[in-house]
Amino acid sequence: MSTALRKISSRIAIGFTIAVCLSFVISVLQVYLDPRSWWVLTFFGLIFPVLSIVVFILFVSWVLAKSRWALLPLASLILAIPNIRNSWGFHFSSNFDKEVKEKNSIRVLSWNVSWFDGQKKTDASKKSSGKQIFDYIKEQSPEILCLQEFLNNDYREEVNSTLEKLEAMGFRYHYYVPDYIIRKGNTDAGSAIFSKLPIVNNGNIQYNGSLEKRSAEHLLFADIKIPSGDTIRVFTTHLQSFLLKANDYRDLEIIRNADDSLLSASKSILRKLKAGYLSRANQAEIVRATMKESPYPELITGDFNDVPNSYAYFTIKGSRTDAFLARSWGLGRTFNNVSPTLRIDYIITNPGFQVLSYRCEKLPYSDHFPVLADLRWIQP
């Protein structure tokens, strides 16, 4: 290779390294920047897992080349350690056993069940996934069940209401606040907390904004007596979604394929992404403030509609324990559309809880996967 060609190649490699590391640092810093002021930067958080891999490869490549440029990706990776720890699980065995639960443990299951029919909520002819979902819940036998996009009185089935079905499984206690009225008032949907253990108190907060633009479900809480005699406060919520419809997923394909409609498709997607990030920033701060006021040890489950490398996640999690990070490995995908890196459903606990096991089942019954954790309260 000629000297001139080597210089050109070196400059391209250096320029690429600088560009990637700069993007990576932006993706790291955006979790601390309020999206209401820095919303453009939030998009970098979505590609954080990919960027982290590329930066690591660049680091190794420059080390092998014995170049000082290895210091730039190394410094970027060091800066990103808190983000990496919140995005990647490093426990290769969760030891989850659906048949056996340890003494004094509580099994928590959280699931966005997508109205029991996997995204096509307006299609009354589509067969409900309710039976499979209920069978799975019964098989896992959780003491506490938190459902988002829960549909009451399924309009496609002339059978008992979904509330009655869950009561028959042993969930004697529940707290449910409907957010949507569906099909001319025949039924309703929203978030719900079900428990086989006594609920002694409950409450809710409704987020601001019109329902059509809000597309978020109440923040619910239920105070539950656990076998140790302690009372814990269980929260569940469904934060603002991006409101992506079938045509938006088509627009994503247009963007990927650089179609002639690229500009129009990009504007449509960007508008919805921006609205989602701004709303979730407000909602996450409401969640944080409400949890801070809890008189009991708290845990929160739900569909946050945001990745671990996000302002909303960092705001809610704080110093609490993410059950996935405590007992699982990889990226922990919980959403079955768009990208294989989207972990947006969580079980997050007060540090006084010991996370005994965690599991996320890749089931086809909803566009979200269920997440389960066995917990034990160990701090008096």
pLDDT single digits (tens) 69-104: 999 999 999 999 999 988 888 877 666 666 677 888
Closest Cα partner for 370 from 149, 133, 170, 191? 133
pLDDT (0 to 100) of residue 38 = 76
Q: Is the model's pLDDT at 300 over the cut of 70?
A: yes
Q: What is the pLDDT of residues 151-165, one digit of tens each?
A: 886 555 545 578 888
Give the start-to-end residue ranges of the domains of the chain.
3-87, 91-377
Exposed/middle/buried for 363, CB within 10 Å: 0-12, 13-18, 19+?
middle
> Over the stretch 208-221, which tens digit does the pLDDT of each residue have?
865 555 568 899 99
What is the pTM (predicted TM-score) of this model?
A: 0.85
3-state class percentages of the chain: helix first, strand second, coil last, to nearest 5: 40, 25, 35
Model confidence pLDDT, tens digit, residues 96-140: 666 677 888 999 999 999 888 644 555 555 667 888 999 999 999
Across the range 196-213, mean pLDDT stands at 84
| The domain over range 91-377 is classified in CATH as 3.60.10.10 | yes
Residues 6+ apart with CB under 8 A from 34: 281, 311
Tens of pLDDT, residues 4-46: 788 888 899 999 999 999 999 999 988 888 887 777 777 788 8
